[in-house]
Amino acid sequence: MCRGLALWAIAAVLASTSSVGAAPPDTPKAKRVPEGEPIIVRPPPTEAERKRELREFTREVIRPPRMNQPVAKFFYPVCVAVLGLAPEDAEVVAARIRENADALGVGAEREPGCVPTVRVAFMGPTAGPAAKWLGMDSPQLAHLASYQRERVLAETGPVRAWNRIAVRDATGQAFRPQLGDQLRFPTFTEIEPLSRTDPIVTTEITGAAVLIARDAADGLTLGQLADYATMRALLGTGSPEGRVPAPTILTLFDDPAPPEGLTEFDRALVRELYDVSRNAKPRRVYNDIARAAVAAERSRRDGN
């Protein structure tokens, strides 16, 4: 009896020993990181790093002003006109742009007889591709300086947008032409301070135009289109290129899953621009926008 138990114990030990280190045939082997490929774990950016990132992104989004000039903006409430859509759809888009302008500190006129300062046009197929809409000699761009026309014509995609800008003195008054400058005077964008000691000028947007290919708008909501037009009209900006570190409605025609409307970054971008003084230097504007965007992200993250 004891001898049988001993033989059974020895057989069990041998069986268990022979199976050590041998994985069952159906058990997958553990994946190993190839040698020479380190595992990099990146912590989330600090608020200071995030602010720096959004500040640089803001500099890319806003079309740079000329030297010694602030970022241009409307000085007075805007009057909106929308063309190229069915009347009821056009009014929905116009009403949304007016609501955005009020909410973001710009203001909007609602008198039926107001002179439009923001014009949004949806271009039909008969207008051809966007690249054929405008040229350097187009009368629609005649009021722009040459560098502004080049910037509009260099844009790609189904949208063309521009702002009419008047450069004024530090108090917002029009410059008085000097002797010999009569021919230059109507082109406000060419006037700059005489020296760095002069008070910084102000740059007023007196009109904005946004042309959108109607075919490209298929599948998008009227709210999305209105919010996109809001951003393109209320400040000089184009569609972001490359990596986008914050959601923005400006990617509407490039992103396969664009935002449903204005984002935290979009609201910070416009609100902070219109909150600072007319003489604020661009650096301050960029800093304020980044700070406000980071604060909005923090508030959302904390559930406030």
Scanning the structure block, which residue is given the tokens 């004891």?
Answer: 2
Q: Where are the beta strands (DSSP E) in the chain?
A: 80-83, 118-123, 159-168, 202-213
The whole model's pTM is what?
0.78
CA distance 192 to 170: 11
Which pLDDT score, from 0 to 100, does residue 83 have?
97
Tokens representing 107?
């203001």
Which pLDDT score, from 0 to 100, does residue 41 have?
63
Which pLDDT score, from 0 to 100, does residue 32 have?
58
Q: How far apart are the first and last CA of the chain?
A: 77
CB atoms within 10 A of CB 253: 16
CA distance 224 to 228: 6
Which pLDDT score, from 0 to 100, does residue 6 have?
42
Which pLDDT score, from 0 to 100, does residue 242 have?
81
Scanning the structure block, which residue is given the tokens 């500099």?
Answer: 59
**Chain mean position to CA 297:** 16
Q: How do the domains of the chain map onto residue ranges?
A: 49-60+69-302
Which pLDDT score, from 0 to 100, does residue 39 have?
67
Q: What share of the chain is helix, strand, coil (3-state, %, to 5)?
A: 40, 10, 50
**Chain mean position to CA 221:** 18
Q: Which helix (H) or strand (E) holds 227?
A: helix 222-234
The tens place of each residue's pLDDT in the chain, 304 residues long, gives: 444 434 334 344 333 444 444 444 454 445 555 666 666 666 677 889 999 999 999 999 998 887 778 999 999 999 999 999 999 999 999 999 999 999 999 999 999 889 999 999 999 999 999 999 999 999 999 988 888 899 899 999 999 999 999 988 777 777 665 544 444 443 433 444 444 545 578 899 999 999 999 999 999 999 999 999 999 999 988 888 888 999 999 999 999 999 999 999 999 999 999 999 888 889 999 999 999 999 998 888 777 6
